[in-house]
Amino acid sequence: MIVAGAGVQGTGHLATGRGCQDAFRAADLGDAVVLAVADGAGGRERSALGAHLAVDTACRVLAEGVPGTDEPPGVWTGWAAACGTRLVADHLRAAEGILRAAGPPALSGQAGPEEPGGLPRALQEPSAPPVDTGALAATVAAAVLRPPWVVFVAVGDCFGTVLTRGTTDPGPPPGSGGLPIESPGPTPGPGGPPPEAAERCHLVLPPPGPGGPGPVFLSSPGAALRVRSFAVWEPELTGVVLATDGCTALTLDHPSARALPPQAGPLPSERFFCGLASTLRANGGDAEPLRALLSGPEAARTGDDLTVLCALTGGW
């Protein structure tokens, strides 16, 4: 597989002297790959560390126990849900450990061997003052690509797109309960590729719509109940792309661009996603064109950090 990613500091962060608070990471499993992107909360001083912790935790959790390609849909969806629950729990545990270790010497010195409960002694002491894990607040989106399956797990407003070849609807996977992709066919209007384009893009993990609840982070109360996790079975799968919310203006089209009503929601820009895939396949996965695109004037409109990470299947 070709795996490529880039993260760029937003113009708004440059203007205020803040560093990039996004992070990304990939893990090669041989016949599968794990991708993760994270966006640290802008108002938190340690959110960049939180973003790096989020992608590290996501890659570790999703690299374990990946189902086989012949497993039924129920196994894949159940595994995805379990990964989402564990991701939140492991991230909070790691965040507490980091914050306690960085605290006063008397606190960090309490750490000792693990008790039967599995937590370090310092984390089990009832006298230990609570720590604010919100200091490491971050959103995250992760994916496991094992064709013809791809699993998404996300907390917050990062989003994900899949790429497919052809324009036919393959129908449901063997068994029942899978989530096949609905192929829209050639895209009319400006920005779309010609009808004979090799790949199509599908926004299967959209950012939360306007008017919903406020932002949710891995450290938010009840985050485990707001995890988005699901599995997609797609025999024509050719890739997956994850992005942080700073990329929405660059990568997503308003439905009016395709003569659709506003309630249709944002649509993936085929010019961006299919063009990116074509470029990476042609240059062997060199991410420099992606970095240049994320640094361009069109990308600077939001002022936020921008991060994109993708994996493309071989033999295309």
Q: What is the pLDDT of residues 139-186, one digit of tens each?
A: 999 999 999 999 999 999 999 999 999 754 444 444 434 444 443 333
Q: What is the pLDDT of residues 242-268, one digit of tens each?
A: 999 999 989 999 888 888 888 888 999
Beta pairing, strands 237-243 & 252-253? unpaired
Residue in the structure block whose two tokens are 């790949």 = 199
The residue type of 195 is P
Whole-angstrom distance, CA of residue 306 vs CA of residue 302? 9
Q: What pLDDT is stored for residue 41 in this prediction?
A: 87
- The pLDDT mean for the chain works out to 82
Helix (H, G, I), strand (E, B) or coil at 293: helix
Helix, strand and coil percent figures for the chain, each rounded to 5: 35, 25, 40
Looking at the predicted structure, is the pLDDT value of residue 123 above 70?
no
Q: What pLDDT is stored for residue 195 in this prediction?
A: 46
- 27-41, 126-140, 182-196, 230-244, range with the lowest pLDDT: 182-196
How does DSSP assign 178-234, residue by residue? --------SPPSTTPPPTT-SEEEEEEEPPPPTTSS----TTSTTGGGG-EEEEEE-
Paired residues of 252 in beta bridges: 268
Q: What is the pLDDT of residues 270-283, one digit of tens each?
A: 999 999 999 999 99
Q: Count Cβ atoms below 10 Å from residue 137 Cβ, excluding itself.
A: 27
Backbone phi, psi, residue 238, to 5°:
-125, -5
| Region label for 222, one of left (φ > 0), alpha (ψ between -120 and 50) or beta (otherwise) | left
Residue 15: enclosing H or E segment and its boundaries?
helix 11-16
Whole-angstrom distance, CA of residue 183 vs CA of residue 180? 9
Backbone phi, psi, residue 209, to 5°:
-75, 165
CA dihedral 233, 63, 248, 11 (to 10 degrees): -160
Burial letters 167-194, b for 16+ CB under 10 A, else e: eeebeebeeeebbbbebeeebeeeebbe
Q: What pLDDT is stored for residue 5 in this prediction?
A: 96
Whole-angstrom distance, CA of residue 261 vs CA of residue 39? 30
What pTM, to 2 d.p., does this model score? 0.82
Q: Structure tokens of 251?
A: 């990568």
The residue type of 170 is P
Q: What pLDDT is stored for residue 186 in this prediction?
A: 35
Beta pairing, strands 149-155 & 228-233? antiparallel
